[in-house]
Amino acid sequence: MAMPRHGARPPQPSHPTFGEMLEEVLDLSAGFGVALLPMLVLSVPGIILFVVLPAILLFALAAPLAVIGAMIAVPPYLLARWLRRRRRRRSRDEFVNAAGRGAWPGTPVAEPR
């Protein structure tokens, strides 16, 4: 065995490049994916049981509540909208009749020649 010279450094391993590290990560992730493929077969029934069915049940409970809420909230909204339009129409008709020419108040009216 050869003795290193005085003050000489032992050889250092070279640092991996970005490409080499990326290659290692891709290899590890591919191996991890292949190792977990059997879990996919087992997880599909669990996803259906714990995600899809509760979502369907919650929708089935929320839909009648939404219909009842709409039946309670929509008639007052429609009544308010109808009254607002009626008031607006009546005020416009009053201004038209008062001016006699169809002008809104504050609008300059041209005198007939």
Q: What is the mean pLDDT of residues 92-103?
A: 62
Locate 5 and state its tokens: 């010279």
What is the distance between the alpha carbons of residues 59 and 75, in angstroms, rounded to a whole number? 24
Q: Across all residues in the chain, what is the average pLDDT? A: 82
| Residue 13 reports pLDDT greater than 70 | yes
Assign 9 a pLDDT band (cuts: 50, 70, 90): confident
